[in-house]
């Protein structure tokens, strides 16, 4: 049986005047170890008429490894919109198109969402070819609860959005998985350590998964900070953060002190409440009530959340 037949055994009909549509394959590729490429992924890539890749050089390395001579076409954040019409034409004439990412499962913090939306809107068959995923590999190796979990990709760069994203992670009861570059990992860990304060919160830093120098560091944010200050990280990094434990009976004096500190840092009442809830291990509503009590008692300026008075 031919590669094309192995990949799908015939084409599906678009249902318009008997016109046959090409298929759009979403193909997961290895996150490090090339032996992790599935047999079905090999067949789909060998049979595809066109292959889209964020980094064509990395894609060619994989294709050469499996003996596929195709020349991949670039698909990245700067040209995705312009590729939509081209891919639609390919599919309309019956060509099969495969999308791969630099590593792992496409569309997870990678380009392609707008293109996929157009493919679905156009009524073309979408064929997922599952396989390696840095998200799932890190999650199951972390030693933390796997269900439920939330994947947030890369955190925002802008300070305000980043602070809110970090507070949501600390406040979440679910396990959270995120990506980070090695150059910014220490900053992330320092931010997490500052947010959790003295509370024990487990994390796992999964680096170079499936590669020769694979490393899984399990511990707390302060422990990870100490480690990576002494051993600067390299390679791809996925971080898994434990969800907030069940709420406990709050210590009134401790909660008040946390509220005072948060307001003293110039946080708005809602932001202060998120921090107090995370560090004090209490519900957001109780934290907000504590913040407002402190704010009122201290004569806090209603316009910006900064303490007023004397």
- 121 pLDDT more than 50: yes
Domain containing residue 268: 252-297
- Domain assignment present for residue 305? The answer is no
Q: Is residue 247 part of a domain?
A: no
pLDDT in tens, 48-76: 999 999 999 999 999 999 999 989 999 99
pLDDT digits 0-9 by tens, 102-114: 999 999 988 899 9
- Which of 222, 241, 260 marks a domain boundary? 241
pLDDT of residue 247: 54
Q: Looking at the structure, do residues 112 and 152 belong to the same domain, yes or no?
A: no
3-state secondary structure of 129: strand
Q: Are residues 34 and 118 in the same domain?
A: yes
Alpha helices in the chain (DSSP H): 3-8, 39-47, 56-65, 80-92, 113-121, 134-141, 159-171, 182-196, 221-230, 252-264, 269-280, 284-297
Residue 44 lies in a domain: yes
Helices and strands (H, E) in the chain, number of each type: 12, 10
Same domain? For 147 and 222 the reply is yes
Work out the average pLDDT over 29-51.
95
Pairing outcome for strands 237-241 and 175-180:
antiparallel
**Residue 253: predicted pLDDT:** 84
**CA 145 → CA 139, 142, 244, 245, distances in Å?**
8, 8, 11, 11
193 and 212 assigned to the same domain: yes
Residue 309 resides in a domain: no
Same domain, 256 and 281: yes
Query: Which class for 31: exposed (0-12), middle (13-18), buried (19 or more C-beta within 10 A)?
Result: buried
Choose the final residue of a domain: 111, 132, 153.
Answer: 132
- Per the structure, the count of domains in the chain is 3
Residue 306 lies in a domain: no
Band the pLDDT of 196: cuts 50, 70, 90. confident
d(CA 2, CA 74): 27
Q: Which of 105, 132, 159 is the last residue of a domain?
A: 132
Whether the Cβ atoms of residue 262 and residue 270 lie closer than 8 Å to each other: no
**Which phi and psi (to 5°) does residue 28 adopt?**
-75, 135
- Structural domain contains residue 302: no
Cβ pair 293, 255 in contact under 8 A? no
Does the CA dihedral 237-206-36-91 come out positive or negative?
Answer: negative
The predicted-structure confidence for 80-101, as pLDDT tens digits, reads as follows 888 999 999 999 999 999 999 9
Q: Say if CB 236 and CB 31 are below 8 A apart.
A: yes
pLDDT averaged over every residue in the chain: 86
Mark whether 10 and 125 lie in a shared domain. Answer: yes
Average pLDDT on 29-37 reads: 94
What is the Cα gyration radius of the chain?
24
Higher pLDDT, 285 or 198: 285
Query: What is the percentage of the chain residues whose pLDDT exceeds 70?
Result: 88
pLDDT band at 310 (very low <50, low <70, confident <90, very high): very low
Q: pLDDT value at position 16? A: 40
Q: Give dist(CA 40, CA 217) in Å, integer.
A: 33
119 and 20 in a common domain: yes
Please indicate, yes or no, if residue 157 is contained in any of the structural domains. yes
Q: What are phi and psi of 33, to 5 degrees?
A: -80, 115
Band (pLDDT 50/70/90 cuts) for residue 170 is confident
pLDDT digits (tens, 9 = 90+) for 245-303: 765 566 788 888 888 888 888 888 888 887 887 777 777 788 888 898 888 887 444 44
95 found inside a domain: yes
């Amino acid at each position: 049986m031919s590669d094309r037949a192995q990949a799908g055994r015939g084409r599906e009909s678009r249902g318009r005047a008997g016109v046959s549509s090409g298929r759009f394959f979403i193909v997961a590729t290895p996150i490090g170890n090339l032996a992790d490429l599935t047999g079905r992924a090999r067949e789909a890539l060998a049979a595809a008429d066109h292959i889209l890749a964020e980094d064509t050089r990395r894609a060619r390395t994989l294709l050469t490894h499996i003996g596929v001579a195709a020349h991949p076409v670039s698909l990245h954040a700067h040209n995705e919109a312009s590729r939509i019409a081209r891919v639609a034409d390919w599919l309309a004439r019956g060509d099969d198109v495969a999308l791969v990412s630099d590593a792992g499962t496409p569309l997870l913090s990678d380009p392609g969402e707008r293109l996929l939306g157009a493919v679905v809107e156009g009524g073309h068959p979408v064929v997922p070819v599952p396989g390696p995923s840095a998200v799932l590999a890190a999650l199951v190796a972390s030693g933390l609860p796997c269900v439920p979990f939330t994947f947030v990709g890369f955190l925002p760069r802008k300070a305000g959005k980043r602070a809110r994203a970090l507070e949501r992670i600390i406040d979440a009861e679910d396990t959270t998985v995120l990506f980070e570059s090695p150059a910014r990992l220490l900053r992330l860990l320092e931010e997490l350590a500052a947010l959790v304060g003295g509370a024990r919160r487990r994390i796992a830093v999964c680096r170079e998964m499936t590669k020769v120098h694979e490393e899984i560091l399990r511990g707390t944010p302060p422990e990870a900070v100490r480690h990576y200050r002494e051993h600067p990280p390299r390679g791809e990094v996925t971080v898994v953060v434990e969800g907030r434990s069940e709420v406990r009976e709050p210590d009134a004096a401790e909660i008040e002190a946390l509220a005072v500190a948060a307001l003293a840092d110039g946080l708005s009442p809602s932001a202060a409440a998120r921090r107090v809830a995370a560090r004090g291990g209490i519900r957001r509503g109780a934290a907000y009530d504590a913040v407002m009590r402190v704010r009122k008692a201290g004569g806090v300026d209603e316009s910006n959340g900064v303490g007023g008075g004397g």
